[in-house]
């Protein structure tokens, strides 16, 4: 669907899932999509797992050459909330030391929990802001069945970039405060 429209996206992959579906990630990478780190096992929320540094480093090792040069990382939250516990001091220190770019979001339509209504929710979220970073999921029953509908109905330019407000850490440099994501 993306290729048919000439669109590029970012795929933040869970390291354990990558072991089973590496060919899909290789295809996405070859087609120009950006591949980023979404932890090794997807603990929710990451910052309360007690294994944050291992989750980040092991997933990055699994990505290998597929990883975007900016070492893109998206933490796992609790239901899409940008709340305390999303990150920890140890996670932030690991992201800085590893020169990662931490990518957050400003729209999560709940595709995994509302397969019938997420498209309308996503469209409303997109209309509410100037630049939307929309998170969709590839789990069973999530966005895949209705992605084409979203792409047909969206009245916004789709670009392969991130709003600066959604990137608190870029290439290891803290650009926006992260304290509100720490517990």
- List 13's β-bridge partners, or say none: 37
CATH number of the domain residue 44 falls in: 3.20.20.370
Q: Quote the pTM value.
A: 0.96
Distance, CA of 100 to CA of 10 (rounded, Å): 15
pLDDT at position 4: 94
Residue 35 lies in a domain: yes
170-182 pLDDT, tens digit each: 999 999 999 999 9
How many structural domains does the chain have?
1
* Residue 112 placed within a domain: no
**Domain span including residue 163:** 3-107+157-174
Please report whether residue 128 resides in a domain: no
């Amino acid at each position: 669907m993306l290729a048919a429209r000439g669109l590029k996206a970012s795929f933040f992959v869970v390291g354990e899932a990558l072991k089973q579906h590496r060919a899909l990630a290789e295809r996405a990478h070859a087609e120009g999509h950006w591949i980023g780190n979404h932890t090794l096992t997807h603990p929710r929320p990451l910052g309360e797992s007690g294994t944050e540094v291992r989750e980040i480093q092991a997933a990055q090792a699994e990505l290998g050459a597929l990883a975007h040069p900016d070492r893109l990382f998206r933490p796992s939250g609790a239901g899409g909330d940008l709340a305390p516990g999303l990150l920890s001091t140890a996670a932030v220190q690991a992201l800085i030391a590893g020169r990662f770019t931490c990518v957050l979001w400003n729209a999560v339509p709940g595709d995994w929990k509302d397969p019938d209504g997420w498209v309308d929710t996503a469209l409303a979220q997109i209309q509410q802001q100037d630049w939307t970073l929309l998170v969709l999921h590839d789990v069973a029953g999530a966005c895949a069945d209705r992605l084409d509908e979203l792409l047909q109905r969206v009245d916004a330019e789709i670009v392969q970039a991130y709003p600066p407000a959604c990137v608190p850490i870029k290439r290891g440099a803290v650009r926006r405060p992260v304290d509100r994501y720490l517990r």
